[in-house]
Each structure stands twice: as structure tokens, then as C-alpha cells.
Amino acid sequence: MVTKFSPRFIALLTKPAGTVLLLQACQSLPPLTSLLRFTGIVFDNSEPCFVFQPHVLHQQPRPQPPPPSRLAPVTAICQTVLRSGYQRHPLLDGPRRLLREMPITVPFSTSRSHRNDSSSSSTPTTRDASRASPYSGVAKLQQRSRNDSGHATVAEAATAGGRAMDDNGGGDLRTDAGYRQSRRAAAREGKPVMPQRGQFVDWAQLRVRGGRGGPGRVAYEPVGRGRHLGASGGSGGGGGDVIIRANNSTTSLYGILPVLVGSAGSAGGAGGRTGARGADRVLDVPVGTMVRIWQASAAGNSAEAGDGLEDVEDWGDAVADYGHPVHQEAEIFSSSEDEGESEADFHSASDEGEQREGDGRSRFAIGDRPPLPPHGAANLRFTSPPIVEVELTQAGQVLVVARGGSGGRGNQAFPSLAGRPAPSECERGTPGQEFWVRLETRLLADVGFVGLPNAGKSTLLSAITAARAKVGSYAFTTIRPQLGTILYGDGSRLITADIPGLVQGAHANRGRGNAFLRHIERCRCMAFVLDLSGGESTAHHAAGFQQSHTGAGAGGDGAAGRGRGPDTRQRQTRSHAAAGNDGDGAGVAAAHGNDGDDGGEAAAKALIGVVPLPPAEQLRVLQEELRMYNPELLAAPALVVANKLDRCSEPRVALRDLMAATPLPIVPVSAAHSVGLNRLKDALRVIVRPGTGGSET
Ligand SMILES: Nc1nc2c(ncn2[C@@H]2O[C@H](COP(=O)(O)OP(=O)(O)OP(=O)(O)O)[C@@H](O)[C@H]2O)c(=O)[nH]1
Ligand SMILES: [Mg+2]
């Protein structure tokens, strides 16, 4: 069938992409056209020849465009931004690329599931995974604690291990004594500690950068019957975006890498082929996550900025190290320094020859390294307001936080003048956008336990769910919210959340109140957990105080309290623990004994809940704090859990006073002695799902 080879055909044959089929126009053309995709005509001595792409012979289906529904989330988020009156940002302008299901290429496995790129050869090796794992940072921390402090520190940590200091976490790591020891050693030395797997991480801070665009290509091909060469270098592909997506199956910000970079675009090819677009990096966050974006220059910068090409191994360590400050508990963002980071740093980073197609991680690692801040959360500070503030309120909403750079033009895109040699210029791709992102998420629970410190919230959670919350006879035992699930006989379940204790002034962020109050915003219902024996304790304390002063045996009540107390792990490790209200007499008497006349300190203790207020007063304080923080919170269905019934000498009187103070339903319980818990579970179910009454007992 092929009769003649035109110069054009010869040129096509030299293409690196493969061969083409040249067919002369003949009778067999009509049936062939149904099989083959026509791509062009060349004329050779006035005889028309037809050029077809060979792969079509296999009748491959044409690539279908992605379903248009993928665009919907983008539109949705834009609308959300507009509707909610947030400042519009160029990030949200213009047409959006279709969101591709590309990997996050997180080079380690976490409790969060990240999808891997099907085309990616970047599946991490075991060695890579261990290197880049957040726990490699912990291992390093452990190592460092050994190095810095010698065996004494580790031995000390091992001793502390017997004291059951474990935090709220779960999972395999709970059994890893070395890991726990390293956490304790680090905490003692004031170093930041990574959260344990299973812990709820409610904020994270990271740096995002779109992938660099691929470079253009300089290439030539014969034109005009091969008499001279024309430019045929294609443009580079665009860099991948960094995208944040709200996902229902993600519950925590645990394990988020401190730096996310979109993959770079591929270089352009000969024959006018455009390079492939870099892979997007999609970060799944829980629904309800607040995303705040700052310019890259808004925070302190690292001395390591733009220090050229680095070995992948170094990079892995850097990521692991940098992971520590990201999850710190630091709240203050007060001062800032200008970053002084130059574009040239990035330009120098990505050389054409170093780009590897289809390997997001290597591209992420080599030559495209964004500057890292020095260790310590104190270095991540923003004084200016964020340029974008968006809450992802629905599953599937996406936000393109950093767009990839555009690909450089190949020499084909440059003008060529007749009679002059083809242009030999091409462009490098532009770097992607770069920003700081702070993510804050909130628990989503059916019921939130709200109470002053030491009211028994964690004890209650442990009693009615399978969760094992840390219990202690001192205020602020719980510093991270924890979830638990109540299972009912009919198979239904309720998610309950133990929120850290609130103090007077929490709405003004006293005692990190804001961090805790925002979790309450996401609870459908509220259970105000009160210490029913609160008012009495003050009287008991006074008695203990008098006893200690008259020398009539300090802490008699305290001894009784300890005897009754269910918490066998009571420790006096914190300064205010000495004044804990459980096992209390001795501690409070001692505290009062030191400064018995100091009314200011007593008031301060009452303020943080160490000396519990009467139940009605506790409720008033809690409701007042909620009202000051967000008045809508008080509209949520609620009930009162009157806890520590066993400690109350006059329960009827206390309950009657409480009923007079509030119209809310009151459920008296003793969490420690499992009294009234079934009744409480029923009541919780009724307020969460009205109409699903019925006794469990
Ligand atoms: N006698 C008695 N003690 C209780 C009861 N419930 C809790 N406690 C004790 O009260 C103390 C505080 O309990 P937690 O559950 O840690 O209190 P919390 O409200 O979670 O405290 P924070 O985490 O600091 O907000 C512990 O010593 C518990 O053993 C109860 O029903 N009876
Ligand atoms: Mg607690």
C-alpha cells in the first residue's frame, strides 16, 4: 500500500516518538478511515498521501475528559469564599484545572491514608520510609536525648515509665516503651514532642509551593523538503498545584508534612510536543478545617534557605526534624521578621537535567527544596492578617493553595524570520506560588463534655466509652480533646468528646480557652459536667485548713478522699496538683497552710477550678464563657451531668439547688463508681436524637 516516501515522511520517521504510517490514497481508504485517525496530509509531487498515527490501529479509545462534576467543588469553594465575605484572593480567580487524583506522595505511611500515584514510581522504599517518617524524627530525638543527656536521662525516663504517665494516645506505639521514654525525656528538656498516633491534632502549619513549570525545548526538524531546519521544540508542562481538600474520612491533622510541593512539569519535547503537567499534591483535611494563608515572606525564614542542591537523604532528615515544631502547642504569633528569600534561590534549584518524570518524590527532593524555618514553633510567626481565610465546610470542597508555575516556551514558540536560521531560544519554567498555610480543625462529635478542670470529664468518658482518657487529681490533666464512642444495645452509637477544662476567662483565651472552645462549636450537643460536691469541698477544705492550723491531724478528709478515690494513679507532679480536689484535704490544707491568709491565691485557685465552685456557680461560669465566645453555642441542646455524687454529703440539697438554678435536664452520676451511667447514656441519646428514647437498662 505504501508507495512513496515524501521528505516529510522521512522527517516524521526520525521522530523519537515512533513511526508513522504513510498510505497513499486508494480505494481502501474509506474503510480505513473508520479505523484510523486522520492526522494530516502531505503532498508529494501532487500525489496526496495520508499520514496516520499508528497506535490508532489498535483502536484505542480516545481519552475521555474527566467528568465535569470534578469542577463542582472548586466552584463551591469559590462560592463559599464569596458568600462568606472573605477577602477574594487571586488563588481563587480564573479557571481551575480539573482536580486530578494524584498522590500526595507522602513518603511514609500514617494513620491517614494517602493515595499513591498510579503512574508513580515513587513508592517509597523501606529505607526511604523510615528516613522520612515522622517517627524517624522521634527516633532522632530519642537519639539526641541520649547523646545530649547521656544514660542518666534515659534511665530517668525509664524510671518515669513506671508511673503511667502515658498520654491519651492509642495504637501500637503505646507499647513502644522507647518511644514513650523519648517523649518524656524530650518534654522534660522542653523540646517539642510529636503527637502520638491516635491523638487528635487540631492544628498544623506548613509551607506549600506549586511545582515549577517544565523547561521549553530547543529542537529542529527539516522543512521545505529538507532544505532547511525549522524550530520544533515544544513547551514545558505546568507545575502541579498544592490542593487542600475536605474529606469526611479524615479526622485529624495528624501526620501532615511541614512542606508540600507540587511536582514540577516535564520538559517540552521535539516535534512541538508539550511536556506533561506536574502532579498535584492533594492534602486531605477534616471537614470544618479553617485554612489561613500567608505570603511566604510573612514568617521567619531559615538560614538554610536556598542553599542549592541537597542530597535526598539530607532532605528526608530535614523534613523529619522540621516536623517537630509544626505540631507544637505554641499559640502565640507575635513578632515577625522578613524572610529575605530571593526568587533566584528557586530559579537555581530546578535544572532541566535533574527533572525526573513520574517521580513526584524525587522532584520534591532534589533541587527544588523550599527554605525550611529553623527548629522551634517560635520561628513560625505571623503578624499580618492572612491573605485568605477559608473554612472548608463540606466534604469534597477543595482549595488550590499554591498554583504550579507555567512551563517555559520551546523554540517553536519563538518567531522565526524567513531566510534566517530557526530560533534557538527557549525558556525555563516559572516557579510555583509559595505560601504559608495554617490549618485549624475542630472535633466533630455528637456530645461534648464541657466543664471546669477536674470536674470528672475524662473519668466520665472512660466510664461510658471504650476510650481510655488520662485522669488526674489536678487541673488541666487533659490538654487535647479526645473522642469516645458510646455503643447502645440496638447498635446505634454516639460520638462523645472530652474537651479540656475551661476556666473563667476562657473566651479571652485564658488557659488556652480559645483552642478548647472552638471544639465545642462542632459538638451537636453539650453535656455540662459539674462537680456536685464542689461547694462542699470548699467547706471541707476550710475544715482541713483549720485542722492543719490547730494541729488536729492535717488532711483527715484527704486521707478519706484518697481512700475513696478511684484514681489509683494520682500523682502530684504539677505545682497545682498539691491542691487537687480529690484526695484533697491534705493537699489543700498544705496549700492553705503555706499562705493561709492569701485571699488572692485562693481566688486564683477557684478561678482555675482547683477549689471547685458550687455546682450552680460552675454552670453559670461555663455558660457565661460559651456566651462570650459565641452566643449561638448556648442554643445547642444540652443537659447537666451532676458528677461525683458519691462525694456529696447532701446530694438532695445540692441537686435541688441546681434545679432551681437551671431549666436544663440534670442527670446525677458518679463516674468513678459507675452510678447512673445508663441513665446518662439514655439521656444523651435523647438530646442528640430526639425521638429515639428508650431505656438501655
Ligand atoms: N469521688 C469521685 N471522684 C471522681 C469522680 N469522677 C472523677 N473523679 C475524680 O476527679 C478527679 C478529676 O478527674 P478527671 O476526669 O481527670 O477530671 P477532668 O474534668 O477530666 O479534668 P481536666 O482534664 O483537668 O479538665 C480525678 O481524681 C478523678 O478520680 C466521681 O464520680 N467520684
Ligand atoms: Mg480530663
Q: Which three cell numbers stand for residue 94?
A: 480564573
pLDDT of residue 216: 94
On average, the pLDDT of the chain sits at: 62
pLDDT of residue 247: 87
In ligand 1, the atom with minimum distance to the C-alpha of 462 is: 15
- Residue identifier of the C-alpha nearest atom 30 of ligand 1: 644
Higher pLDDT, residue 13 or 608: 608
Distance (Å) from CA 454 to ligand 1 centroid = 5
Give the mean pLDDT of 285-307: 65
- Residue identifier of the C-alpha nearest atom 13 of ligand 1: 456
In ligand 1, the atom with minimum distance to the C-alpha of 529 is: 19
Distance (Å) from CA 191 to ligand 1 centroid = 29
Residues 6+ apart with CB under 8 A from 311: none
In this structure, the answer to whether residues 396 and 304 fall within a common structural domain is yes
The CA-atom distances, in angstroms, between 137 and each of 179, 182, 357, 366 are 11, 11, 29, 20
Q: With the C-alpha atoms ordered 199, 202, 207, 209, is the resulting torsion angle positive or negative?
A: positive
Strands 259-261 and 228-231: unpaired
Higher pLDDT, residue 41 or 646: 646
Give the mean pLDDT of 222-233: 82
**Ligand closest in space to the Cα of 642:** 1
In this structure, the answer to whether residues 500 and 432 fall within a common structural domain is no
- Residue identifier of the C-alpha nearest atom 10 of ligand 1: 456
- Residue identifier of the C-alpha nearest atom 8 of ligand 1: 456
Q: 503, 531, 567: which to mutate for ligand 1, most atoms within 8 A of CB? A: 567
Distance (Å) from CA 472 to ligand 2 centroid = 7
Residues 6+ apart with CB under 8 A from 287: 246, 247, 248, 392, 393, 394, 395, 444
- Among 450, 462, 451, 454, residue whose Cα is nearest residue 672: 462
Distance (Å) from CA 536 to ligand 1 centroid = 16
If you count them, how many residues does the chain have? 697
In this structure, the answer to whether residues 335 and 386 fall within a common structural domain is yes
In this structure, the answer to whether residues 278 and 413 fall within a common structural domain is yes
pLDDT digits over 230-266, tens only?
Answer: 899 999 999 999 999 998 888 778 778 888 899 999 9
Residue type (1 letter), 530: L
Q: 458, 557, 569, 670: which to mutate for ligand 1, most atoms within 8 A of CB? A: 458
Alpha-carbon distance 339 to 346, whole Å?
14
pLDDT of residue 509: 80
- Residue identifier of the C-alpha nearest atom 27 of ligand 1: 473
Place of cell 447514656: 681
Distance (Å) from CA 110 to ligand 2 centroid = 26
Q: Which three cell numbers stand for residue 598?
A: 492569701
Sheet holding 21-24, edge to edge: 21-24, 47-52, 38-44
Quote the distance between the C-alpha of residue 630 and its chain's center: 24
Whether 435 and 208 have beta carbons less than 8 Å apart is answered as yes
Distance (Å) from CA 45 to ligand 2 centroid = 89
Q: Is the pLDDT of residue 592 over 80?
A: no
Q: How many domains does the chain have?
A: 5
In ligand 1, the atom with minimum distance to the C-alpha of 645 is: 31
In this structure, the answer to whether residues 96 and 155 fall within a common structural domain is no
DSSP symbols for 212-276: PPPPP---EEEETTTTEEEE-PPPPPPPPPEEEEEETT----TT--SEEEPPPPPPP-GGGPPPP
Give the mean pLDDT of 356-383: 42
ipTM: 0.98
In this structure, the answer to whether residues 469 and 374 fall within a common structural domain is no
Q: Is residue 26 part of a domain?
A: yes
With residue 681 as reference, give the H or E element that holds it.
Answer: helix 677-688
Higher pLDDT, residue 216 or 568: 216
- 33: domain range? 7-58
In this structure, the answer to whether residues 618 and 673 fall within a common structural domain is yes
- Residue identifier of the C-alpha nearest atom 12 of ligand 1: 454
CATH number for 529: 3.40.50.300
Whether 585 and 413 have beta carbons less than 8 Å apart is answered as no
**Ligand closest in space to the Cα of 516:** 1
Residues 6+ apart with CB under 8 A from 139: 182
Q: Is the pLDDT of residue 323 over 50?
A: no
Tell me, what DSSP letter sits at residue 668?
Answer: E
- For residue 200, the tally of other CB atoms under 10 A from its CB is 21
Residues 6+ apart with CB under 8 A from 27: none
Q: Is residue 407 part of a domain?
A: yes
The lowest-confidence range among 23-27, 312-316, 661-665 is: 312-316
Place of cell 517555559: 408
Tell me, what DSSP letter sits at residue 32?
Answer: H
pLDDT digits over 663-675, tens only?
Answer: 888 889 999 898 8
Distance (Å) from CA 590 to ligand 1 centroid = 21
pLDDT digits over 620-665, tens only?
Answer: 999 999 999 888 888 888 999 999 988 888 888 888 888 888 888 8
In this structure, the answer to whether residues 620 and 598 fall within a common structural domain is no
Confidence of residue 5 (pLDDT cuts 50, 70, 90): very low
Among 393, 415, 440, give the residue marking a domain's end: 440
Distance (Å) from CA 458 to ligand 1 centroid = 7
Q: What is the dihedral of CA 579, 662, 448, 472, to 10 degrees?
A: 10
Distance (Å) from CA 630 to ligand 1 centroid = 27
The lowest-confidence range among 421-435, 447-461, 592-606 is: 592-606
- For residue 354, the tally of other CB atoms under 10 A from its CB is 14
CATH number for 389: 2.70.210.12
* Cα three-residue angle 136-142-145, rounded to 5 degrees: 140
- Residue identifier of the C-alpha nearest atom 14 of ligand 1: 456
In this structure, the answer to whether residues 166 and 234 fall within a common structural domain is no
Residues 6+ apart with CB under 8 A from 396: 72, 73, 76, 245, 246
Distance (Å) from CA 568 to ligand 2 centroid = 15
Q: Is the pLDDT of residue 226 over 90?
A: no
Q: Which three cell numbers stand for residue 638?
A: 444540652
In ligand 1, the atom with minimum distance to the C-alpha of 455 is: 19
The CA-atom distances, in angstroms, between 257 and each of 282, 318, 344, 405 are 12, 11, 25, 21
Whether 665 and 528 have beta carbons less than 8 Å apart is answered as no
Alpha-carbon distance 664 to 528, whole Å?
10
Distance (Å) from CA 582 to ligand 1 centroid = 8
What Rg, from alpha-carbon coordinates, does the chain have? Answer: 33
Q: Is residue 693 part of a domain?
A: no
- Residue identifier of the C-alpha nearest atom 24 of ligand 1: 476
pLDDT of residue 428: 92
The CA-atom distances, in angstroms, between 523 and each of 182, 516, 535 are 34, 12, 29
Among 440, 465, 499, give the residue marking a domain's end: 440
User: Which of 189-203, 326-340, 552-566 is modeled with the greatest confidence?
Assistant: 189-203
Confidence of residue 179 (pLDDT cuts 50, 70, 90): low
Higher pLDDT, residue 73 or 90: 73
In this structure, the answer to whether residues 639 and 542 fall within a common structural domain is no
The CA-atom distances, in angstroms, between 668 and each of 310, 541, 644, 656, 686 are 63, 23, 8, 11, 16
pLDDT of residue 106: 24
Give the mean pLDDT of 24-44: 39
Quote the distance between the C-alpha of residue 147 and its chain's center: 31
Q: Is residue 418 part of a domain?
A: yes
pLDDT of residue 255: 78
Q: Is residue 39 part of a domain?
A: yes
- Residue identifier of the C-alpha nearest atom 11 of ligand 1: 473
Quote the distance between the C-alpha of residue 526 and its chain's center: 25
pLDDT of residue 430: 94
Distance (Å) from CA 503 to ligand 1 centroid = 16
pLDDT of residue 72: 42
Give the mean pLDDT of 79-99: 33
Among 440, 469, 490, give the residue marking a domain's end: 440
- Residue identifier of the C-alpha nearest atom 16 of ligand 1: 471
Confidence of residue 268 (pLDDT cuts 50, 70, 90): very high
Whether 209 and 387 have beta carbons less than 8 Å apart is answered as no
Distance (Å) from CA 566 to ligand 1 centroid = 9
In the chain, the N- to C-terminal Cα span, in Å, equals 87
In ligand 1, the atom with minimum distance to the C-alpha of 565 is: 1
Place of cell 530547543: 218
In this structure, the answer to whether residues 362 and 475 fall within a common structural domain is no
Confidence of residue 692 (pLDDT cuts 50, 70, 90): low
**Ligand closest in space to the Cα of 453:** 1
Q: Is the pLDDT of residue 395 over 50?
A: yes
**Ligand closest in space to the Cα of 529:** 1
| Helices (H), ranges, 465-614 | 513-520, 534-550, 556-564, 584-594, 599-607
Please give all residues whose beta carbon lies within 6 A of any atom in ligand 1, as ranges: 451, 453-459, 471-473, 475-478, 500-501, 564-567, 582, 643-644, 646-647, 670-672
**pTM for the full model?**
0.47
Q: Is residue 696 part of a domain?
A: no
Alpha-carbon distance 447 to 158, whole Å?
38
Q: Is the pLDDT of residue 53 over 80?
A: no
In ligand 1, the atom with minimum distance to the C-alpha of 470 is: 16
Alpha-carbon distance 424 to 229, whole Å?
11
In ligand 1, the atom with minimum distance to the C-alpha of 452 is: 25
Q: Is the pLDDT of residue 691 over 60?
A: yes
User: Which of 276-290, 472-486, 551-565 is modeled with the greatest confidence?
Assistant: 276-290
Give the mean pLDDT of 586-592: 34
In this structure, the answer to whether residues 120 and 153 fall within a common structural domain is no
Q: Which three cell numbers stand for residue 59?
A: 483502536
Q: Is residue 195 part of a domain?
A: no
In three-state secondary structure terms, 477 is coil
Higher pLDDT, residue 18 or 612: 612
- Residue identifier of the C-alpha nearest atom 29 of ligand 1: 567
Contacts 24+ apart (CB under 8 A), 561-565: 561/585, 561/647, 564/646, 564/647, 565/473, 565/672
Q: Is residue 694 part of a domain?
A: no
Beta bridge partner(s), residue 641? 529, 667
Confidence of residue 283 (pLDDT cuts 50, 70, 90): very high
**Ligand closest in space to the Cα of 473:** 1
